[in-house]
Amino acid sequence: MRRKLFASTILPAGLLVAALAAVTPAQAALAQPAQAAVAQKNPLAQIRAALQAGEADKALTLLQSLPHPGAAEAENLECRVRYSLEQWDAAVSACEQAVRLDGQNSDDRLWLGRALGEKADRANFLSAYSLAKRVRSEFEEAVKLNPRNADALADLGDFYFEAPGAVGGGVDKAEALCGQLEKVDPARAHELRGRIAEGRKDPQTAEREYKQAIASGPHPALQWVTLASFYRRHQRLPEMESAVHSAVTSAERDKNASVAFFDGASVLSRANRDLPLAAKMLEDYLASPAKSEEAPAFLAYNRLATLKEKLGDPAAAQQDRALALALAHDYKPSQEAKH
Whether 141 shows a pLDDT value over 80: the answer reads yes
Residues 222 and 281 in one domain: yes
Residues 234 and 305 in one domain: no
- Domain of 265 in residue numbering reads as 203-290
In a domain, 246, yes or no: yes
Question: What is the model's pTM?
Answer: 0.86
What is the rounded average pLDDT for all residues in the chain? Answer: 89
- Residue 215 sits in a domain whose CATH number is 1.25.40
In a domain, 304, yes or no: yes
In a domain, 300, yes or no: yes
Q: Bin 129: left if φ > 0, else alpha if -120 < ψ < 50, else beta.
A: alpha
Residues 230 and 266 in one domain: yes
> Which of 290, 314, 331 is the last residue before a domain boundary?
290
Question: For 51-75, what is each residue's pLDDT tens digit?
Answer: 999 999 999 999 999 987 679 999 9
Whether 178 shows a pLDDT value over 90: the answer reads yes
Whether 334 shows a pLDDT value over 80: the answer reads no
Residues 264 and 211 in one domain: yes
In a domain, 12, yes or no: no
Whether 241 shows a pLDDT value over 60: the answer reads yes
In a domain, 335, yes or no: yes
81 or 23: whose pLDDT is higher?
A: 81
Residues 214 and 267 in one domain: yes
Widest pairwise Cα distance in the chain: 67
Total domains, the chain: 2
Residues 280 and 322 in one domain: no
Contact status, residue 139 vs residue 155, Cβ threshold 8 Å: yes
